[in-house]
Amino acid sequence: MMVKNNKKQLFEMIAKLDPKFKLTEGYDMNTYDENPEMYKQKAEKIKGVIDQLVEMKDYDVIDTLYRLMVDRKMQFNNAVKQISEMLDKE
């Protein structure tokens, strides 16, 4: 299953809504193309850095990465769920 890049999808939808829409200088739609191999390589590099952090016992950085990548998303999802429940009660 191919996941579409959100920025590219947004630009495509705006272009459909406004035919005069043009990206400003410095933006290139080609930079928003999906390249699964590139993302696999990036993920492998991230895994390698995390392995190095474990070997160096740099647990503070691991905690920070965990909060940024995992815990933050869970907290956000919980907040959205709470707001949704509050709105449903009204």
Band of the pLDDT at 11, cuts 50, 70, 90? Answer: confident
Are the C-beta atoms of residues 23 and 29 closer than 8 Å to each other?
Answer: yes
The residue ranking higher by pLDDT, 25 or 53, is: 53
- Give pTM, 2 decimals: 0.48
Tens of pLDDT, residue by residue over 14-31, are 878 887 777 665 566 666
**pLDDT value at position 70?**
82
CA 29, 8, 13: angle at the middle one, nearest 5?
110
Domain locations in the chain as residue ranges = 1-34, 48-90
Is the confidence at residue 82, as pLDDT, over 80? no
Q: How far apart are the first and last CA of the chain?
A: 38
